[in-house]
Amino acid sequence: MIKLPNKHFYDAVVIIWLTLSLGSVVLAGITWSQLGRLASTGRQVIGIGEDLDRILQLLLDAEAGARGYVITGDKKFLEPLNQCVTNLPVCFDTLAQAAPDAAGFLDQAAAMHAQAEVCLAGRLI
């Protein structure tokens, strides 16, 4: 005769299997929740990067325009500088709104805005 394992053994295996299955469901839920937060943070970081790129491009265009005006004396080169003066505050406001809860980031953005304004205060016209 073939001796079958004890019923308690099967009960223990089923309990362990159910416990591990329940644990994996809980871990999957936690991971899914963290993934949503990380995706949101990723979108925020990308937005901040795009805002910083726009600010950098405005400043570079303003510098190139000012240089062109100094070299040629032609006032058409001042248009990028004037656009920078007009659009830079809006870009910094957008940047500040991108991460309203990040106090250190907001301090750095405000300092960068102040430095840009000081540079633009010495503009040619």
Amino acid at 53: D
**CA 92 to CA 21: how far, in whole Å?**
50
72 close to 116: Cβ distance less than 8 angstroms = no
Q: What is the per-residue pLDDT for 124?
A: 52
Q: What is the per-residue pLDDT for 71?
A: 93
> How do residues 34-86 score in pLDDT, each as one tens digit?
998 899 888 888 988 999 999 999 999 999 998 999 999 999 999 998 999 89
List the one residue out of 124, 123, 125, 110 whose CA is nearest residue 55: 110
> How do residues 4-18 score in pLDDT, each as one tens digit?
667 788 888 889 999
Per-residue DSSP letter, 71: H
Q: Is the pTM of this model over 0.75?
A: no
Query: Mean pLDDT throughout 111-116?
Result: 89
